[in-house]
Chain A
Amino acid sequence: MLERLADEIPRFFSWSNMLLLGEAMAITLAMTLVGCVLGFLFAFIIAFTRQVPGILTLPFRTAAILFVEVFRRIPFLVVLFLVLFFIQAVAQGTSLFTVAVVSICIYSTAYIADIIRGGFESVARQQIEAAQAMNFSRWQILKSIIVPQSWPVVLPPAVAFMVGFIKDTSLVSQIGVFELTFRGRELNNMGFSGILVFGTIAFLYFAISYPLARWGQWLEKRLAR
């Protein structure tokens, strides 16, 4: 077996294969990044909506809570298929990459919204009351007090979630997006040894995730100050 592997290695690490895997890596990274950054934005809006009291905002609050509670309890693969079939029903010809990004966005919105809510709640009530007593508006309280004070609580787990999610995006290969895992299966089907192919794929996931995870830890230390 080792002999066969040694035989395959030069053929496997050819320029065209490396280019293929490089491109797949870029797709993996791009869909995670775009999905999660959009997710962070929507999550912020949801977390803010959730804490605006009053009867007028009740429908929005309910929708926000429902969204978060539902999507956090559905496996990502199911979300992916839901989005795929929904989009195919309403807008045929949408690229699979878009389907993947939308799914990642929905899933990360639900998760990060909960992280942000926890961060907002970690701000002492007295801080907010002091601002209210000085006539700060809800928006000013959010901008000047809640966000600056919850930032160190929110950012580390949010970054950890995003970095962790890079590996879960391998599920997207199921619908045929040309990302890392999909290309791995392709190469495997072409006859390359599974150990060689998926060993390489595993290393590539690690190579993307590890530096980002370290960056997240560094960020956490810096924010803790």
Chain B
Amino acid sequence: MRGDLSHHLEIKGACASYGRIQVLKGVDLTLGKGEVVALIGPSGSGKSTVLRMVMGLTLSTAGEIRLDGEAVNYRNPASLRRLRDRIAVVFQQYNLFQNMDVMRNVTIAPLKIKRRPRDQVVADAKRVLAKVGLADKLAAYPDELSGGQQQRVAIARALCLNPEILLLDEVTSALDPELVNEVLDTIRGLAAEGMTMLIVSHEMAFVREVATRVILMDDGQMVEAGTPQDIFDKPQTQRARDFVGKILRH
């Protein structure tokens, strides 16, 4: 059922730099249809950069990224547009549009970019926003919302794009425990519906439950990859043992 052999998204030997500092030093990752892969690793290890690179916001300096077996040419606007049409991202800092209210944030891309019918877009947006518990905040602006509320708007915004692949960067970091469960339920639901996801998360219990595979990163490299059981219960490398030991003690 899960982990279809046809690889949806493939990253091969990708490197990336900010200015002169290399932050990704050869990342390999495959994300099959319906798979949920979790990226874990210490702060600054390059997890967010992997997501940025997939979206074409940071250009890789080496290696390649394939979508459905076809190499993506990030310098070709049409190729990049096709990729961005199928993949949605929820940023670690939410990045909601500050000049738009919640409803506008969620509907602008489906309306103006995807050109879907207004009635349908509005109905969809209301349904998704209700699902993340924000039905009463449609007219609020981002600076009037708490971090957790903004995070949920960002999730709703990504979902309303109807993506085939969803990239989630620490989507529970700003939530209080009650809401963490709400949001995790939403993601659980998506996983059950077969949504392909690449998630960066520190919620180990959740990763263990929902992820088909876990990849541990450190200093821009993949340290270890395997099933959640492999990584959490019998890590192979010393680096993995250290990291897992630290987060499990929390």
With A145-B99, A149-B99 already in contact, the answer to whether A134 and B109 are too (CB < 8 A) is: yes
Query: Which A residues are in CB contact (< 8 Å) with B91?
Result: 126, 129-130
In the complex, A144 Cα to B109 Cα: how many Å? 11
In the complex, A164 Cα to B57 Cα: how many Å? 42
Does the CB pair A126–B95 fall under 8 Å? Answer: yes
A17 within 8 A of B: no
B85 within 8 A of A: yes
Interface centre among A129, A130, A131 (most CB of B within 10 A): A130
In the complex, A121 Cα to B98 Cα: how many Å? 15
Does the CB pair B57–A148 fall under 8 Å? Answer: no
Does the CB pair B93–A126 fall under 8 Å? Answer: yes
Contact of B85 among A131, A132, A135, A136 (CB under 8 A): A135
Does the CB pair B55–A133 fall under 8 Å? Answer: yes
The proximity string for A residues 138-165 relative to B, scoring 1 for CB distances below 8 Å and 0 otherwise, is 0010001100110000000000000000
Query: Which A residues are in CB contact (< 8 Å) with B95?
Result: 126-127, 129-130
The interface size of chain A toward B, counting residues with CB under 8 Å, comes to 15
With A133-B57, A133-B89 already in contact, the answer to whether A145 and B109 are too (CB < 8 A) is: no
With A129-B57, A130-B91, A132-B57 already in contact, the answer to whether A149 and B98 are too (CB < 8 A) is: yes
The proximity string for B residues 89-103 relative to A, scoring 1 for CB distances below 8 Å and 0 otherwise, is 101010111111000
User: Which B residue sits closest to A126, measured CB to CB?
Assistant: B95
Does the CB pair A127–B97 fall under 8 Å? Answer: yes
A174-215 with Cβ < 8 A to chain B:
none
Does the CB pair A135–B81 fall under 8 Å? Answer: yes
A153 to chain B minimum Cβ distance, whole angstroms, is 12
Does the CB pair B113–A144 fall under 8 Å? Answer: no
B34 to chain A minimum Cβ distance, whole angstroms, is 22
With A126-B91, A126-B93 already in contact, the answer to whether A134 and B98 are too (CB < 8 A) is: no
In the complex, A148 Cα to B105 Cα: how many Å? 14
User: Which A residue sits closest to B81, measured CB to CB?
Assistant: A135
B161 within 8 A of A: yes
Does the CB pair A134–B97 fall under 8 Å? Answer: no
User: Which B residue sits closest to A140, measured CB to CB?
Assistant: B112
Does the CB pair B84–A134 fall under 8 Å? Answer: yes
The proximity string for A residues 104-121 relative to B, scoring 1 for CB distances below 8 Å and 0 otherwise, is 000000000000000000
Does the CB pair A148–B99 fall under 8 Å? Answer: yes
B108 within 8 A of A: yes
Does the CB pair A133–B84 fall under 8 Å? Answer: yes
Query: Which A residues are in CB contact (< 8 Å) with B85?
Result: 135
In the complex, A135 Cα to B81 Cα: how many Å? 6
User: Which A residue sits closest to B57, measured CB to CB?
Assistant: A129
With A126-B91, A129-B57, A130-B91 already in contact, the answer to whether A135 and B109 are too (CB < 8 A) is: yes
A142 to chain B minimum Cβ distance, whole angstroms, is 13
B66-99 with Cβ < 8 A to chain A:
81, 84-85, 88-89, 91, 93, 95-99
Does the CB pair B84–A135 fall under 8 Å? Answer: yes
A127 to chain B minimum Cβ distance, whole angstroms, is 6
B53 to chain A minimum Cβ distance, whole angstroms, is 12
A221 to chain B minimum Cβ distance, whole angstroms, is 18
What are 27 residue pairs bridging A and B, where the CB atoms are less than 8 Å apart in the complex? A126-B91, A126-B95, A127-B97, A127-B98, A129-B95, A130-B91, A130-B96, A131-B97, A132-B56, A132-B57, A133-B55, A133-B57, A133-B84, A133-B88, A133-B89, A134-B113, A135-B84, A135-B109, A135-B113, A136-B113, A140-B112, A140-B113, A144-B97, A144-B108, A145-B97, A145-B99, A148-B99
Q: 14 extra interchain contacts, Cβ-Cβ under 8 A, other than A126-B91, A149-B98? A: A126-B93, A127-B98, A131-B97, A132-B84, A133-B55, A133-B57, A133-B88, A134-B88, A134-B161, A135-B109, A136-B112, A140-B112, A144-B100, A145-B97
